[in-house]
Each structure stands twice: as structure tokens, then as C-alpha cells.
């Protein structure tokens, strides 16, 4: 069934570390051989062996209207005919910046970059330059890319200088990164009190997408807003995953809380490699060439990504009913998966915000990294492979959110539910045999 994928994986390991260019693709969290894909259209993926799958990853979020959406394909083709890169300004950059500013609250200025990681790294640097402070607060279980400042393990209170969670991250960097518990405002206040006048910024995924889908508790984001205002720290919303997905204006619009800086990722390029950061003018004025904080990129604002992003975001801006459709489809999937798991007596809980859905095989509510960690990752791996062989592609990790596209049909949702029913029955039968 996966012979060509297996052969490609063996070949890839000869030239690429682990055979993949991003770790989650290696299937280490779920076991087995990673699937190699050849093409996709709408909500369907086609692998190297000719198998097809209903896609619930969507390139980790940006394919909100489905793969190879015709207006995006046409925009990229036309842009490529004019050149794939100039390394110089184009009107496309202005047009996309104007459109994003119309859609997202509080973006006085915006700077295009090449990835969500780069956007978050740049936002932190800008916040430090603006405040003249060094320390930042991040949250356990939130992922902001692989920048050194973000790869810090949450240590115990006894670990005075913090502990890097990846070799290559210096202890000095670890010392300047403080880690708080998600949805725990008192923990944040404690860190501010213990580091008075030293914290430049607090960065958060307002809707966590890298420990499954974990929404903010009621009042939590406003509490962070109030604390950062009182302490003179820059509040950064990392909306790489939830930006333009949960609402046209992202989490800021959904929850009515405005950050000082916001970061975006590949959705603003309809899945092409791109990112952006922006926010209040007084902060963005420190960015070179206006101010002293240097940040640059030859491919920033490249015409392919700008053209694709314009096509996608224009559609989202002009047709907000898309979000109602996505809400309906995702709520339907959540309801029927709940019925399936309950019928087969599989312990589970769900978190959902719009078209982001987290599936957890644990009993308690998931509100932070500690409760997320209680999910049965081994059970998820069995569920993942059961769904895969039935033509449903889920994120290959128990700690990632599902992303639905508006291209998905009721027939595909029904197929997904039936596949889940068969898989759950298989899992329950195996559990009875072992028991």
C-alpha cells in the first residue's frame, strides 16, 4: 500500500537528516513510514502510491479554501511569468499590506518576512529594541518557531538560569526566556513581579495549536493585555495558526483583545513560504530603515507569495460567510466523532475554535500543557494509522490541531465519521482481547 513511500523514505535518509525537512513529518510520534505526497486538490491528497486521503492538516492551516484553489494557482502562474523574485519593491507588497490592515485590528504598520518563525523572531527583537529590556515570557506548550529564544524547556523554580531544550541554545538565551503556564494569569503576574522592569515582551498563541487546539480561558487574554500595559511590556499575539482562520481578523477580532504586535505565517501567502509581523506605529517605527532595529530579507515580499496571498485573503475578506460554513462543518465533525467514541467507550475530550479541532484521548478538560500531556499518545497513534488506511489524513502527532478546509464536503465528513467508527471498533476490540 505504501511501497513507493517506503522507497522514497529510504532514499531521502541518505541525503536529508532523518529523511525529512521538518521533524513532525518523520512520523516518530505515531510510528510507521511517512507518506510522500505528489499532489492535492481541494480537500483531497494523493500520495506517491496512488492512494487518496481526505486532508485534515491543510499544510498546517493555510489551505483554508482547499489545495490548488484556482484563483491562487492563476495568481501564482501570472506572477511567475513576470519573475519569481526582484529583491526590490513591488506594488503587490503594498496591496497585500493594505488588505491585511483592513482585516486585522490595530495594524498601523506591517513588515513582510519569509516564515512564521522569522516573524516571531523579528517581533521579539523589535520588542526588545523598543523597550530596552532583554527578557521575554512565553508559555509552555506554545510553539513560535525554532528561534533560540523559543526553544526553552520549562524548568522547575530551582533552575535559576533556565534550561535550553535543544542543544545549540545558549544558557544566556535561556536565562532571558521565562516560561509561564498557559491559561494561568497568576503565574504570569508572578513572573512580572519577580523580574520587575526587565520583561520586554510576552508572546502567546492566543489559541494554542501546537498542543492540540487549546483556547484561552475566559478573561485570560484581557488579563494579559492589562498586565502588559501596566508593566510596559509588549504583548505579542502569534497568529501564525489562528490568524485569518478563526475569523477575518483572527483571535484579536474573535476575543476583542488587541495586541501590540501580531505575527502571521503562510496563510497570508495561501501556503507559500511567507510571514509577517506588525502592530502599533510607535513600536514599528524602531524597525530599520526608519529605526535602529535591523531586520532584512532578500525574498521578503516576493511576488509569488504576495500574489497568492492577495487572491486568498481577498476572498476571505469579501465572503465572510466562509467562516460560518467552516464553523458548521467542524462542529458537525466534532459532534459525530464524540458519538463514535462514546459508543465504543473510548475516553476522550475535544477542544474546538472555529475550524481548529483538538482530539485528546484523556478524561479531563485540556486547558494547558500539563493537561494536554495526559492524552494517550499511543492510542492516538493507533487511531491515526486506522484512519490513514481508511483514507483520512490526520496530523501525525497527538499534540497538533486539525484544520478543516471549506472544500470539504458532507460526503467526505460522513466518510471520516464512518472511518472513525470502524477504527474505534477495531481499537476497542483489541483492548478487549488484551484485557
Residue pLDDT, tens place only, 30-43: 999 999 999 999 99
Instruction: Please check whether residue 253 is in contact with residue 219, taking contact to mean a CB–CB distance below 8 angstroms.
Output: no
| Mean pLDDT, range 161-180, rounded to an integer | 75
The answer to whether residue 162 scores a pLDDT higher than 60 is no
pLDDT digits (tens, 9 = 90+) for 112-129: 999 999 999 999 999 999
Q: What is the pLDDT of residue 160?
A: 32
**Helix residue spans in 13-106 (DSSP H):** 70-82, 91-103
User: Measuring CA to CA, which residue among 281, 306, 30, 275 is closest to residue 144?
Assistant: 275
The answer to whether residue 97 scores a pLDDT higher than 50 is yes
| Mean pLDDT, range 83-105, rounded to an integer | 96
Residue 173: count other Cβ atoms within 10 Å of its Cβ. 17
Percent of the chain with pLDDT over 70: 97
Whole-structure pTM value: 0.95
Q: List, in order, residues 6 or more apart from 282 with CB less than 8 Å away.
A: 130
Beta strands in 181-298 (DSSP E): 199-204, 234-238, 261-264, 275-279
User: Measuring CA to CA, which residue among 256, 265, 259, 188 is closest to residue 227?
Assistant: 188
Q: What is the pLDDT of residue 255?
A: 98
Give me the chain's average pLDDT, please.
94
- DSSP 8-state class, residue 149: G
Judged on CB neighbours under 10 Å (0-12, 13-18, 19+), 377 is middle
Active-site residues, by number, are 143, 238, 266
Instruction: Please give the Cα distance from 240 to 122 (Å, whole number).
Output: 14
pLDDT-derived band of residue 148, with 50, 70 and 90 as boundaries?
A: confident
Instruction: Please give the Cα distance from 147 to 131 (Å, whole number).
Output: 20
Q: What is the pLDDT of residue 84?
A: 95
pLDDT digits (tens, 9 = 90+) for 194-248: 999 999 999 999 999 999 999 999 999 999 999 999 999 999 999 999 999 999 9
pLDDT-derived band of residue 168, with 50, 70 and 90 as boundaries?
A: confident
pLDDT, greater one: 82 or 166:
82
Q: What is the pLDDT of residue 431?
A: 73
In sign, the C-alpha dihedral spanning 353, 357, 363, 367 is negative
The answer to whether residue 157 scores a pLDDT higher than 70 is no
Residue with cell 475554535: 353
Residue 298: count other Cβ atoms within 10 Å of its Cβ. 10
| Mean pLDDT, range 359-380, rounded to an integer | 95
Instruction: Please give the Cα distance from 384 to 378 (Å, whole number).
Output: 10
Q: In the structure grid, which three cell numbers stand for residue 122, read together?
A: 523579528
Q: What is the pLDDT of residue 395?
A: 96
Instruction: Please check whether residue 194 is in contact with residue 181, taking contact to mean a CB–CB distance below 8 angstroms.
Output: no
Amino acid at each position: 500500500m505504501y511501497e513507493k513511500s517506503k522507497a522514497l523514505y529510504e532514499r531521502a535518509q541518505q541525503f536529508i537528516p532523518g529523511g525529512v525537512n521538518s521533524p513532525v513529518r518523520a512520523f516518530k510520534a505515531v510510528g510507521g513510514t511517512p507518506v510522500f505526497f505528489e499532489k492535492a486538490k481541494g480537500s483531497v491528497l494523493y500520495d506517491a502510491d496512488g492512494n487518496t486521503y481526505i486532508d485534515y492538516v491543510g499544510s498546517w492551516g493555510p489551505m483554508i479554501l482547499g489545495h490548488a484553489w484556482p484563483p491562487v494557482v492563476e495568481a501564482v502562474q501570472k506572477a511567475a511569468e513576470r519573475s519569481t523574485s526582484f529583491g526590490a519593491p513591488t506594488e503587490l507588497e503594498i496591496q497585500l499590506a493594505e488588505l491585511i490592515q483592513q482585516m486585522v485590528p490595530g495594524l498601523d504598520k506591517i513588515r513582510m518576512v519569509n516564515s512564521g518563525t522569522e516573524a516571531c523572531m523579528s517581533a521579539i527583537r523589535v520588542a526588545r529594541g523598543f523597550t530596552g529590556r532583554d527578557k521575554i515570557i512565553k508559555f509552555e506548550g506554545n510553539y513560535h518557531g525554532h528561534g533560540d529564544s523559543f526553544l526553552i524547556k520549562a524548568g522547575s523554580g530551582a533552575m535559576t538560569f533556565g534550561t535550553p531544550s535543544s542543544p545549540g541554545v545558549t544558557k544566556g538565551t535561556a536565562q532571558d526566556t521565562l516560561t509561564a503556564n498557559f491559561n494561568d494569569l497568576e503565574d504570569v503576574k508572578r513572573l512580572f513581579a519577580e523580574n520587575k522592569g526587565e520583561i520586554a515582551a510576552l508572546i502567546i498563541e492566543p489559541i494554542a495549536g501546537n498542543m492540540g487546539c487549546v483556547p484561552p480561558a475566559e478573561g485570560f487574554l484581557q488579563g494579559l493585555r492589562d498586565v502588559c500595559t501596566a508593566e510596559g511590556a509588549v504583548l505579542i499575539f502569534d497568529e501564525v495558526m489562528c490568524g485569518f482562520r478563526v475569523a477575518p481578523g483572527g483571535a484579536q477580532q474573535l476575543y476583542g483583545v488587541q495586541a501590540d504586535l501580531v505575527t502571521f505565517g503562510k496563510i497570508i501567502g495561501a501556503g507559500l513560504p511567507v510571514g509577517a509581523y506588525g502592530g502599533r506605529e510607535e513600536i514599528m517605527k524602531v524597525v530599520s530603515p526608519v529605526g535602529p532595529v535591523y531586520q532584512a530579507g532578500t525574498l521578503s515580499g516576493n511576488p509569488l507569495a504576495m500574489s497568492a496571498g492577495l487572491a486568498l485573503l481577498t476572498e476571505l475578506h469579501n465572503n465572510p460567510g466562509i467562516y460560518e460554513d467552516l464553523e458548521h462543518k467542524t462542529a458537525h465533525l466534532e459532534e459525530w466523532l464524540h458519538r463514535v467514541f462514546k459508543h465504543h467507550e473510548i475516553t476522550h475530550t475535544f477542544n474546538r475554535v472555529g475550524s481548529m479541532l483538538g482530539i485528546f484521548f484523556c478524561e479531563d478538560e485540556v486547558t494547558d500543557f500539563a493537561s494536554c500531556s495526559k492524552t494517550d499518545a499511543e492510542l492516538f497513534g493507533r487511531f491515526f494509522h486506522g484512519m490513514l488506511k481508511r483514507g483520512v489524513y490526520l496530523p501525525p502527532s497527538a499534540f497538533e490541531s486539525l484544520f478543516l478546509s471549506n472544500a470539504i464536503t458532507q460526503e467526505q465528513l460522513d466518510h471520516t465519521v464512518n472511518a472513525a467508527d470502524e477504527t474505534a471498533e477495531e481499537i476497542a476490540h483489541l483492548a478487549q482481547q488484551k484485557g
